[in-house]
Structure 1
Amino acid sequence: MVAEKPRVTRNIPPWAFAIRKRRMELGLTQEQIEELTNDALAQRTVSDIELGKTNPLNLNMEKFAALLKALRWTPRDFTEATGLEVPRFFEQIEDQGVVWLPIVASGTAGRPWPQEGVLPVPREFVRPGSILIRVEGDSMDTGDEEGLKDGDLVLVDQNLRDLRPGKIYALEILGDGIAIKRAKRIKRGWIFVSDNPQGPILEPDEVVVLGEVYRKISIREVR
């Protein structure tokens, strides 16, 4: 391995220097960081972070989590080394232990569902059979804090498939991906409705129930 030459640190913020220093302490190249993150972080992104061009707090949650894992840092380690405050969601995982759950995009069609990353979830939030699904679109966005916004993540309990009025479920639309909808009982049976009045309504014969949504991880929790 060719030793990296020291860089001129003028105009490079302290947090960027700290991240580069940590990588070099571990004996890793930027390309190896890319490999360790399963390509979640491209070598160019790592370079931009170390040059101070990209603030790691502006990464999405999966990329930020992948960076911490590759550098073998806890959220507290990251803050102490860089002086940057970690996103609120990651503050919860420090002392609780975590389970790294794969993320499935709700637009994904067909099994096996490809993963689009992983996220460390506090162990206390994880149930047997939990899956993590990213919300896509605004069909469940009510315009307030209770709604599910595009980019939010939801934890789904695959052991809870019996429908209950008013509960939210992850549904596999036959041949057309995954949707998040609310179960509603009407005179003729069940339907699955969107919380946004402009969203679609699904019939039971169009979907397979994957499980009940039991917790939201808001995109605002990780910024």
Structure 2
Amino acid sequence: MGDPAEAIRKRLHQLGLSQARFSVMVGKSPGWAAARFLPNVEGAVRYMQYREPETLTRLLRALQWTPEEFSQETGIPLEPPSPEIIQMAQVPVVGVVSAGRGESYVEPLGHVEVPQEIVARYGDGLFALRVSGDSMFCEELPYAIPPGAYVVVAPHLAPQPGDVVVVWNEEHNVGYLKEYQPKEKGYQVLRSWNPEVPPIVVQPEDSIRIQGVVVYVGFNPREVQRKALRVRP
């Protein structure tokens, strides 16, 4: 069997995924694949099996491989998954939200599945939105919300500084996904994680209202990879 790292690189090329984009889909910082994963694929996989099984699940989804296919292509056997079953619940997708440089509209788009514990923790009334635009993606951060991801929103939560919120601009009839930063003088700053996108300063008289706080972010690899993430080569 050949080099596992080379098998991963070949698969990423087949899927049209950069290493940075793949890292984000796995839930890591954009430099993770190059610096931590590819230099020791087997060691990283062994660690994930015992300490971060959810990360391993996301990795397989990003590569669009079953455990058997992963083992066949890399030569690294995967042990049977834990018998623990994560209960899932459905949340309605009610539209698309702009992450600064994308489209925004309200339209029923089916449902997404989220862990039942999210629904139990935040109660009824949760809704989901598909993300359009790249203002909440930054390769320097260990977290990101890329285009094509979906966010689950709790409309009844009061936002705290640093929360990611969905806001609605009534004047322009558009929704935005931003980080919430209130200021002492009464105005608010809605910050983007992408440093190329300027923040939105909201004055008390502006017709902008917060629709809810993001409590969960999910990824569908087939949706995310179709989007043009802004990553450096």
Match of 1:105 among 93, 96, 103: 96
Measure, in 1, the Cα distance between the counterparts of 2:222 and 2:143: 13
How far 1:201 moved relative to its partner? Answer: 2.4
Match of 1:201 among 177, 199, 202: 199
- 1:101 and 1:121 in contact (8 A); partners too: no
Q: 1:140 to 1:214 in 2, by over 3 A?
A: same
Equivalent runs, 1:111-126 vs 2, <5 Å: 113-126=106-119
Measure, in 2, the Cα distance between the counterparts of 1:163 and 1:98: 24
The normalised TM-score by structure 2 is 0.48
- 1:172 and 1:209 in contact (8 A); partners too: yes
How far 1:145 moved relative to its partner? Answer: 4.5
Q: Which residue of 2 aligns with 1:56?
A: none
**SS of corresponding position for 2:199:** coil
Measure, in 1, the Cα distance between the counterparts of 2:142 and 2:92: 24
Structure 1 segments unaligned to the other structure (5+ residues): 1-83
Q: 1:145 to 1:117 in 2, by over 3 A?
A: farther
Equivalent runs, 1:1-223 vs 2, <5 Å: 85=66, 96-106=87-97, 107-109=103-105, 113-126=106-119, 127-143=123-139, 144-160=141-157, 162-174=158-170, 175-189=172-186, 190-202=188-200, 203=202, 205-220=206-221
Q: 1:215 to 1:132 in 2, by over 3 A?
A: same
- 2:91 and 2:126 in contact (8 A); partners too: no
Q: Which residue of 1 aligns with 2:58?
A: none
How far 1:169 moved relative to its partner? Answer: 0.4
- 2:92 and 2:111 in contact (8 A); partners too: yes
Over residues 73-117 of structure 1, what are the superposed CA-to-partner deviations in whole Å (9 max), with x where a residue is unaligned? xxxxxxxxxxx739xxxx9xx6514225224211334xxx21123
Q: Which residue of 2 aligns with 1:63?
A: none
Measure, in 2, the Cα distance between the counterparts of 1:139 and 1:213: 15
Question: Counterpart amino acid of 1:96?
Answer: Q
Question: Which structure would you say has the larger Rg?
Answer: 1
The normalised TM-score by structure 1 is 0.50
Instruction: State the superposition RMSD in angstroms.
Output: 3.0
Measure, in 2, the Cα distance between the counterparts of 1:96 and 1:221: 23
Question: Counterpart amino acid of 1:211?
Answer: G
Structure 2 segments unaligned to the other structure (5+ residues): 1-64, 68-81, 98-102, 225-233
Q: 1:201 to 1:156 in 2, by over 3 A?
A: same
**SS of corresponding position for 2:197:** coil
Q: Which residue of 1 aligns with 2:33?
A: none
Over residues 117-151 of structure 1, what are the superposed CA-to-partner deviations in whole Å (9 max), with x where a residue is unaligned? 32233322223110101111111112244111111
- 1:108 and 1:114 in contact (8 A); partners too: no
- 1:169 and 1:212 in contact (8 A); partners too: yes
Question: Counterpart amino acid of 1:192?
Answer: L
How far 1:178 moved relative to its partner? Answer: 1.4
- 1:101 and 1:131 in contact (8 A); partners too: yes
